[in-house]
Amino acid sequence: GEDVEQSLFLSVREGDSSVINCTYTDSSSTYLYWYKQEPGAGLQLLTYIFSNMDMKQDQRLTVLLNKKDKHLSLRIADTQTGDSAIYFCAEYSSASKIIFGSGTRLSIRP
């Protein structure tokens, strides 16, 4: 079945780049998404990439997609304290479902 996997924790120093990785299993996925969840809140869409793209950049965010390895990454440049949150990777799979990973908790060190 479909599955999306992420590491649970990432700690980076303020000002450094953060790279959050994700692997997925459904090779027919058309869209892949990154969501951000701050404490006590719902999920907020950060960015998404269509499966025929390799890279998408949006200000401090860069998404890289390796379809061959089914690997997706999110890079946050110049990480700030406001970037502390849980980041979810998700794929749009067949049968009209969006499957989420377990989320990566990003913490920022001063």
Q: Site residues (CB under 8 A) for other proteins?
A: 4, 8, 30-31, 33, 35, 41-45, 48, 88, 92, 96-103
* Cβ at position 64, least distance to other proteins in Å: 19
Minimum CB–partner distance for residue 61 and other proteins (Å): 14
Rounded to the nearest whole angstrom, what is the least distance from the CB of residue 45 to other proteins in the complex? 5
Nearer to other proteins among residue 1 and residue 110 (C-beta)? 1
Q: Which residues of 13-24 are buried (b: 16+ CB within 10 A; e: fewer)?
A: eeeeebebbbbb
∠ CA(55), CA(9), CA(65), 5° rounding?
Answer: 15
8 vs 78, which CB is nearer to other proteins?
8
Task: Say if CB 64 and CB 70 are below 8 A apart.
Answer: no
Q: Identify which of residues 59 and 110 has a Cβ nearer to other proteins in the complex.
A: 59
Nearest to 90 by CA among 34, 45, 51: 34
* Beta carbon nearer to other proteins, 51 or 73: 51
Q: Which two tokens stand for residue 1?
A: 């079945």
